[in-house]
């Protein structure tokens, strides 16, 4: 472990892979990283598209680690919330 973190997201900690399918085509999504990391690379010039966040995950943000899934088939990214272990 190289960093102290309160996050217990199994994906971030390498215990599990992102298990998510594309909402459009059903292909397996690739894990493009944590949302914070993803937008950290793009912000502040690319504000978060709120339409992507209107899925209820933000209400549970304290317990959910948002990951960006990437669908190669659709060439698009989709957000997925990973339940953090307690
Ligand atoms: Zn995570
Ligand atoms: Zn797709």
Beta strands in the chain (DSSP E): 30-34, 64-71, 76-83
pLDDT band at residue 84, thresholds of 50, 70 and 90? confident
What's CA 83's distance to the chain center, in Å? Answer: 11
Counts for the chain of helices (H) and strands (E), in that order: 2, 3
Task: Please state the domain extents for the chain.
Answer: 1-86
**26 C-alpha to ligand 1 centroid (Å):** 21
Residues 1-47 have pLDDT tens digits of 455 545 578 888 888 888 889 999 999 998 887 776 766 655 444 45
61-80 per-position pLDDT tens digit: 567 788 888 999 999 988 88
How many angstroms does the Cα of residue 43 sit away from the middle of ligand 1? 19
| Pair 71, 44: CB distance under 8 Å | no
**What mean pLDDT comes out for the span 38-58?**
52
Reduce the DSSP state of residue 75 to 3 states and report it: coil
pLDDT of residue 25: 97
Per-residue pLDDT at 81 exceeds 60: yes
Looking at all shown ligands, the one closest to residue 27's CA atom is: 2
State the pTM of this model: 0.60
Show the tokens assigned to 53.
């966040």
């Amino acid at each position: 472990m190289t960093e102290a973190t309160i996050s217990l997201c199994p994906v971030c900690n390498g215990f599990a892979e992102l298990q998510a399918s594309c909402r459009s085509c059903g292909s397996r999504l690739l894990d493009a990283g944590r949302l914070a990391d993803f937008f950290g690379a793009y912000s502040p010039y690319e504000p978060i598209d709120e339409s992507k966040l209107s899925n209820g995950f933000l209400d549970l943000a304290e317990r959910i680690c948002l990951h960006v899934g990437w669908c190669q088939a659709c060439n698009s990214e989709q957000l997925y919330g990973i339940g953090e272990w307690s």
